[in-house]
């Protein structure tokens, strides 16, 4: 991978995030892709024949990541990849995923269920953030004063927002002295996946046993869902051909468009970084590079809207874009777990365990209580989907919903997807707030107190806005 220092126009500075400046040869890139790919293939075979993975619907990428971690340089040593290189792949795959999602365009439809679920997602993020800060404050004051309180702010990033964001922002904090940030964030994200799939399936099975919902009859072969293998002739289509393959392969066009938008994302990020440096705000530069995925998403949304204005939006096919997104996400999840530094994570083993337990408990309690109060239909299914997403990702939430509704006949799955966009918009201020201890308070305890106060205040405003919406929804 070419270093940004070799690009003209903008001069990369030492404050640039390491994922842009790391050098990777073509051979190293190919061997890394082969290592991740081999783990994915082994994981696919394991899902086919291992009942435990089938019972809990564990995605192959998650199994592949733990397999790579076990075979990696800090464990068995059979795979020789450098951990920082895997982290760099996570960083870039995150932005590519957000660009692909942006090309799909924003959802125009909204429902009251989706709005309520959006409020609940942001509520969960705020509660996780407050819980993480309280836990780490107690750990630092009572047990391990040499640890970093900022680890508590990684709880909502790893649980509610996923490994890519946890790595990207955690890595940027290394510029402020928190060298373990990326590894702690990835570890929390990995634990979150385990909670989402294993505990999530337990919650679904208990709910079914207690009669909270009755599972609809399945019209498709349940073996496909359990094993992950589609029999011959039973698969669907990947997408539409929006170009004549004799002129250009449609998938190649989609990949090329995403690649061009990512290059443009770099130029925009580098331009903002240069402007900050010129203004004497060098401390803010690492934050710019950690938010590159948001810039990429906004740029893709703008391009999609522009294509719609000129009547060529149909050239971006939803099916093919979803396939490219799925490709990036599978490699992202596997690489994110393989990028965990066991040594660094072990140093934070106690707080990671405490953060995970506390984060799981507060997420379960808050979502279950809110679902019982707010929803008049499919309340348990909505709670299950939100719990899966707020400890794992949207994919894990949908996987749990599918257990309760195999054909997605209820509005729960659609509302869960629509609510994610609302949650991203409402949750954006959190990305700014969590950096205040570094950018405005030089890592002092007062900075974390400010973050906690802002999060508590924002939570109060959110609950007030939610109450007002609920009253209007009931009146309507």
63 contacts: CB under 8 Å, gap ≥ 6:
43, 46, 47, 53
Residues in the chain: 476
What is the pTM for the complete model shown? 0.80
Where along the chain do its domains lie? 19-219+313-470
The structure tokens listed for 280 are 């004497």
Helix (H, G, I), strand (E, B) or coil at 185: helix
Task: Write the DSSP string, 363-400.
Answer: HHHHHHHHHHHH-SSSHHHHHHHHHHHHHS-HHHHHHH
Q: What is the residue-level pLDDT of the chain in tens, covering all 476 positions?
A: 334 443 333 334 443 456 787 888 999 999 999 999 999 999 999 999 999 988 887 889 889 999 999 999 999 999 989 988 998 998 899 889 889 888 987 554 557 888 999 999 999 999 999 999 999 999 999 999 999 999 999 999 999 988 888 988 898 898 888 989 999 999 999 999 999 988 998 898 888 777 666 555 554 566 777 788 888 877 778 889 999 999 999 999 999 999 999 999 999 999 998 998 888 877 677 778 877 888 888 899 899 999 999 999 999 999 999 899 889 989 988 998 999 988 888 889 999 999 999 999 999 999 999 999 998 888 888 999 999 999 988 778 877 887 777 666 678 877 887 787 788 788 878 877 898 898 888 888 899 999 999 999 999 999 999 999 988 765 44
Distance of alpha carbon 363 from alpha carbon 245, whole angstroms: 48
Distance of alpha carbon 377 from alpha carbon 387, whole angstroms: 17
């Amino acid at each position: 991978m070419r270093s940004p220092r070799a690009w003209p126009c903008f001069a990369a500075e030492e404050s640039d995030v390491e994922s842009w400046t790391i050098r990777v040869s073509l051979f190293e890139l190919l061997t890394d892709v082969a290592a991740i790919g081999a783990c994915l293939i082994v994981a696919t075979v394991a899902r086919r024949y291992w009942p435990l993975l089938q019972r809990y619907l564990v995605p192959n990428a998650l199994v592949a990541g733990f397999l790579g971690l076990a075979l990696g340089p800090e464990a068995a040593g059979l795979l020789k990849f450098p951990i920082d290189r895997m982290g760099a792949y996570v960083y870039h795959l995150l932005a590519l995923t957000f660009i692909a999602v942006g090309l799909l365009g924003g959802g125009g439809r909204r429902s009251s269920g989706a709005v309520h679920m959006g409020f609940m997602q942001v509520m969960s993020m705020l509660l996780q953030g407050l819980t993480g800060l309280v836990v780490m404050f107690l750990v630092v004051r009572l047990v391990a004063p040499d640890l970093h309180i900022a680890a508590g702010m990684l709880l909502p990033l790893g649980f509610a927002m996923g490994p890519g964001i946890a790595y990207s922002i955690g890595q940027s904090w290394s510029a402020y002295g928190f060298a373990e940030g990326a590894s702690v964030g990835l570890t929390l994200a990995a634990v979150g996946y385990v909670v989402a799939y294993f505990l999530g399936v337990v919650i679904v099975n208990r709910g079914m046993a207690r009669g909270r919902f009755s599972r609809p009859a399945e019209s498709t072969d349940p073996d496909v869902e359990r094993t992950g293998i589609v029999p011959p002739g039973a698969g669907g289509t990947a997408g539409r051909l929006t170009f004549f393959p004799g002129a250009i392969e449609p998938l190649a066009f989609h990949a090329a468009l995403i690649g061009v938008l990512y290059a443009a994302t770099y130029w925009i990020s580098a331009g903002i970084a240069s402007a900050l440096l010129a203004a004497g705000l060098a401390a803010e530069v690492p934050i710019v590079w950690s938010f590159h995925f948001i810039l990429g998403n906004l740029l893709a949304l703008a391009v999609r809207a522009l294509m719609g204005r000129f009547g060529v939006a149909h050239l971006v096919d939803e099916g093919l874009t979803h396939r490219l997104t799925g490709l990036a996400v599978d490699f992202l999840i596997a690489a994110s777990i393989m990028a965990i530094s066991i040594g660094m994570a072990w140093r934070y083993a106690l707080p990671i365990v405490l953060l995970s337990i506390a984060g799981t408990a507060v997420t379960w309690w808050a979502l279950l209580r809110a679902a019982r109060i707010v929803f008049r239909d499919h309340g348990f299914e909505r709670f299950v989907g939100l719990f899966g997403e707020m400890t794992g990702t949207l994919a894990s939430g949908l996987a749990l919903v599918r257990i309760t509704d195999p054909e997605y006949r209820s509005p729960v799955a659609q509302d869960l997807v629509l609510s994610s966009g609302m949650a991203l918009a409402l949750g954006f201020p959190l990305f700014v707030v969590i950096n205040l201890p570094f950018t405005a308070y030089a890592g002092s305890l007062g900075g974390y107190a400010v973050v906690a106060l802002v999060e508590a205040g924002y939570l109060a405003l959110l609950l007030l806005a939610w109450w007002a919406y609920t009253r209007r929804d009931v009146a309507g």
